[in-house]
Structure 1
Amino acid sequence: MGAPHPHRKHQEAAISRTASAGRTAPWRWLPPLLALALGLWRLDRGGSMWRDESVTLQVARRPLGDLVGLLGQVDAVHGLHYALTHALLPLGEALGLPAPVALRLPSVLATALAATGVAALGHRLAGPRAALAAGVAYAVLPPVQMYAQEGRSYALVAAAVVWATYALHRRRWVAYAVLLAVACWLHAFAVLAVLAHAVAGWRLRAWRRCAAAVVACALPLALVGAGQADRQLGWLGRPSWADWAAYALVAGLALLLARDADRDLVRLALPLVLLPPGLLLAVSLVRPLYVDRYVLYALAGLALLAGARARPPAPARPPARALRPAAALAAALALAGALVPWSLWLRTPDSRKDDALAVAAAVRDLARPGDAVLFMPARRREWLLSSPGVYDGLTDLALAATPTASRTLQGTELPSDRLRARLTEAPRVLALMDPADQPLDAFPREAVKRQTLAVFFDLCEVRAVHGARVALYARPGECPSGEIG
């Protein structure tokens, strides 16, 4: 055989270099590794766990049949995540991981997967430099870091939506429909991504069919969830000025980044940033539904637009528009300086509303055998349900039916007259309450709790923990130190 033709030899070398570069290109491995490192960094958050994670933990530990019964009453929109956690949590605990760490690991992995998807989409739309910048930008965004370390569904929803967006761009229709349907079953508000995708896909018959299939698949969950909405979302108020200000800031930044960006990239990324949170905010003016974490996936669009700014300028573009290396380095250092304090804070107990494990520790320290416990309000029973070693040693005065028996999250309580009778017979009571600056529940049963404690007991001690108070009440003259707090 003769020597290869020179032109063919050059082609093979170019293909080899391209394949080699594809295997080692930083945009492929740096974003997921960075997301993974940030997710694993202080994953235990100082040994803390807030009440929403506590719900996930105690629900996931129920037998599967009891879990199905619960979802018929409440939290159906989280059903798939609870089922996944029910299956995966024992694996983490079998490896010797603390329960909160095992609970959060799926979110860490999902965030790394989402960062990979953002980078892959950036590469398809704007090249390797934009891919690297977009993937890194997504990984370091503070909300992304926050929910990467949380035992809830939001990071998983974001990963599914990101890869559905990638499948939309590649026109992989089966993958698109499946991924988006999974996202909707992980959280119903992922369906808003369908509206964002409509900007790029509406003219395509295949997209319209997929979108209809996704909506049809999500409809049963939406109908069940709508029936549970008053119990599940009744705590929500209308969007605050801070919610609108945050949306305006993100939207303004997205519009600024979209200037002169590739049209295909803008058609995918900009609607993803603007439409899901914007529509949810608008609907919440009539029926409060908005919480920023429900549309966490929208930040993938912002990361894509930011990454597009790292794309080399077109030859016709004036050189002055290109960001000089020194200016880019200065901007990166300034951004890192701003993000580091946020990143550190996000890994502390104070970054969440409360700390169920700190409440349990305070109760363990104050309690004596035979003590009673009272939750004020009743929904704060969640603070102890994920710490059965503490909860099982106390008498729950108000409890009528356990969470499992009643197929509820926090159980059901006795009527006011029976509750008053039981409470007046208790020698010592540990009352678990919201912080002093929170409004008191106006329900009659909660008023009976407060009034009975005030009339029949002395307040011995109050311990403030993050997001809660643990108060010890005893019969007059029976406080441990002989002093009344």
Structure 2
Amino acid sequence: MSVDERAPAVAGTVAPPVLAPRQSPGPAKAVVVVAPLALSIALGLWGIRRKNTMWGDEAVTCQLAHRDLSRIWLTAQHVDLVHALYYAVMHEVFALFGGGLLTLRLPSVLAMSVAASGVGLLGLRLAGPRAGLLAGLVFALLPQVQKYAQEGRSYAMVCALVTWATYALVAGVPHRARWRWAVYGSTMLLACLLHEFAVLALVAHGVTLVVSRAPRPVLRAWSAAAACVVAGLLPLAIRSAGQSGQLSWIDGPVRLPRFLATAVVGVACALAPLGTRGPVRLSALAVPMVVLPGLLLLIASLVKPVFVDRYVLYSSTGIALLLGAWMDRFLRRQRSFRYVWIAAVVVLAVLVPTSVSLRTPQSRSNDVTAIGAAIRTEGRPGDGLLYLSDQYRAWTAADPVDTRFLTDLALTQDPVSSNTLAGVELPAQDIAARMLEFDRIIAVRDPAGAHAPTNPREEAKTSTLRRHFRAYGTSQVSGARVTVYVRDHDPSPRPDLDPATRERTVGR
């Protein structure tokens, strides 16, 4: 056999085997993005109106966002400076789409959906397609995520921005391109300007890089970006520190057990080997995000109570990543899917009732729609209207129709013209004198057992009612009581503002 004849055979023996073409990651990535996005939108639209009810903070959003930008800025000098940017954003949204209830809440639905897709991409990058998909779906299903996806407040937007800033951080570690760190820094700064406590995520990111033993160039780039964020936030933080009295309603940690349980579950999940090897490990990213922001708020609460779980809602991204990666690991180790189905049934049995309850008016601490309806029902044209806490004036301003036939007895300058939330009230003696000009007064006050504010104006209101009026009937509503008082011409002093023998409760 000639050399030429043997050549094909030799070549055939050493040629590498033909490999099957690798599947493109595009479809998996698309599913990881689209599925959590779609689920979050569906859950956000489900029962979004909450039976056409609104809670107090949403009423403030509605009131301020309807003012022009100059008045929003002037009002923010007195109160709610920390939310000024959000009110400006919602002002533009209302200008484009109207100021209805759907317009108030749809931006939060969309923002949380964008956050869900970001969580999916983070999981994909750190642990693979299935872990990313599961993490995104878990995030959309978390009760606190479902709740704040349907609220006209800034928390969903902050959560979305922090999530995508976190993705920019993870993407920037291996590439080290300056523009990636510019994107990271600008996204984090925008999140912090929407709510100052987003800066705590910056601390979590720094711990992640240290634990991951990031190279010095990466640490320098992050430090520069973090310094820019802090510098951009500092003027707002200094100015808003003078409005810290707005947090006086916090007398202790709000929903602390939920935070502690989430932290324990997150740390437990992190004990298992999760994710893939890379410059940033999933546990190193997720655990600081779950634990540190809430922990730092708790430490700050030793000086002044500031812990409210929604202030660090973005921590939900961390627990979703940990649960998604843990579920992915569990599925890879299981040959039978029987336990998977059992677990799915148990989770649904817990989530469905919770999800349904979140879409009821009772799921919020107050219902300004019910307060307004009670005022409209109990009041008669020409009656006096008295707020025994001026916060209720800010709440009922969301729908002026409820109070248009009543006379606000304490008000001397309305909220819009005074660039305030609750307006400017008369001096105490003038309020008392004006009250005596009316035979019927509709009083809006705190729920039974709540701590009533004490100042000369409030004392004048309550003492005048006690001495010269008697309670005719009370409507108990979520977050307040609406009581009808009629003039009592008996001059003898009355020992109590609301004697049980003289007050009838009107059920709502």
Q: What is the TM-score of this pair, normalised by structure 2?
A: 0.86
CA distance, structure 2, for counterparts of residue 209 and residue 323 of structure 1? 48
Counterparts of residues 213-252 of structure 1 (less than 5 Å): 213-230=228-245, 232-239=246-253, 243=256, 245-252=257-264
1:187-207 deviations in Å (ceiling 9; x for gaps): 000000010000233542111
Given the alignment of the two structures, is residue 41 of structure 1 paired with residue 41 of structure 2, yes or no? Answer: no
Tell me if structure 1 keeps the 8 A contact 2:66–2:91. yes
Counterparts of residues 375-454 of structure 1 (less than 5 Å): 375-454=387-466
Which residue of 1 is the match for residue 143 of structure 2? 142
Q: Secondary structure at the match of 2:401?
A: helix
| Match among 347, 353, 362 for residue 359 of structure 2 | 347
Residue type of the partner of 1:219? Answer: L
Given the alignment of the two structures, is residue 180 of structure 1 paired with residue 195 of structure 2, yes or no? Answer: no
1:212-238 deviations in Å (ceiling 9; x for gaps): 1111111111111112112x1122223
Which structure 2 residue ranges, 5 or more long, are not aligned?
A: 1-14, 173-179, 491-501
Tell me if structure 1 keeps the 8 A contact 2:472–2:486. yes
CA distance, structure 2, for counterparts of residue 366 and residue 46 of structure 1? 22
Tell me if structure 2 keeps the 8 A contact 1:238–1:287. no
| Match among 450, 453, 478 for residue 466 of structure 1 | 478
CA distance, structure 2, for counterparts of residue 78 and residue 484 of structure 1? 40
Kindly state the Cα deviation for residue 246 of structure 1 after the two structures are TM-superposed.
Answer: 2.6
CA distance, structure 2, for counterparts of residue 60 and residue 391 of structure 1? 20
CA distance, structure 2, for counterparts of residue 476 and residue 252 of structure 1? 59
Tell me if structure 2 keeps the 8 A contact 1:420–1:452. yes
Which residue of 1 is the match for residue 115 of structure 2? 114
1:233-270 deviations in Å (ceiling 9; x for gaps): 12222326x51x33321111001111222361111111
| Match among 65, 72, 75 for residue 80 of structure 2 | 75
CA gap of 1:128–1:388, structure 2 versus 1, over 3 A, is same
Kindly state the Cα deviation for residue 299 of structure 1 after the two structures are TM-superposed.
Answer: 0.9
Q: CA-atom RMSD, angstroms?
A: 2.2
Q: Secondary structure at the match of 1:216?
A: helix
Kindly state the Cα deviation for residue 287 of structure 1 after the two structures are TM-superposed.
Answer: 1.5
Which residue of 1 is the match for residue 295 of structure 2? 278
CA distance, structure 2, for counterparts of residue 405 and residue 462 of structure 1? 32
1:414-437 deviations in Å (ceiling 9; x for gaps): 111111000111121110112112
Aligned length: 459
Tell me if structure 1 keeps the 8 A contact 2:471–2:483. yes
Given the alignment of the two structures, is residue 54 of structure 1 paired with residue 59 of structure 2, yes or no? Answer: yes
CA gap of 1:312–1:383, structure 2 versus 1, over 3 A, is closer
Residue type of the partner of 2:316? Answer: L
| Match among 185, 198, 204 for residue 206 of structure 2 | 198
Counterparts of residues 255-404 of structure 1 (less than 5 Å): 255-259=267-271, 260-262=273-275, 264-312=281-329, 322=334, 324-404=336-416
CA gap of 1:418–1:254, structure 2 versus 1, over 3 A, is same
Tell me if structure 2 keeps the 8 A contact 1:251–1:274. yes
Max Rg structure:
2
Given the alignment of the two structures, is residue 14 of structure 1 paired with residue 26 of structure 2, yes or no? Answer: no
Residue type of the partner of 2:244? Answer: A
CA distance, structure 2, for counterparts of residue 342 and residue 313 of structure 1? 25
CA gap of 1:436–1:238, structure 2 versus 1, over 3 A, is closer
Which residue of 2 is the match for residue 157 of structure 1? 158
Identity of aligned residues (%): 44
CA distance, structure 2, for counterparts of residue 268 and residue 358 of structure 1? 43
Residue type of the partner of 1:386? Answer: A
CA distance, structure 2, for counterparts of residue 327 and residue 199 of structure 1? 36
Residue type of the partner of 2:423? Answer: G
Kindly state the Cα deviation for residue 312 of structure 1 after the two structures are TM-superposed.
Answer: 4.7
Q: Secondary structure at the match of 2:35?
A: helix
Q: Secondary structure at the match of 1:111?
A: helix
CA gap of 1:29–1:76, structure 2 versus 1, over 3 A, is same
Residue type of the partner of 1:218? Answer: L
Given the alignment of the two structures, is residue 207 of structure 1 paired with residue 212 of structure 2, yes or no? Answer: no
Kindly state the Cα deviation for residue 74 of structure 1 after the two structures are TM-superposed.
Answer: 1.4
Residue type of the partner of 1:238? Answer: G
Residue type of the partner of 2:169? Answer: L
Which structure 1 residue ranges, 5 or more long, are not aligned?
A: 1-6
Pick which of 40-49 and 364-373 moved more.
364-373
CA gap of 1:484–1:303, structure 2 versus 1, over 3 A, is closer
Kindly state the Cα deviation for residue 47 of structure 1 after the two structures are TM-superposed.
Answer: 1.1
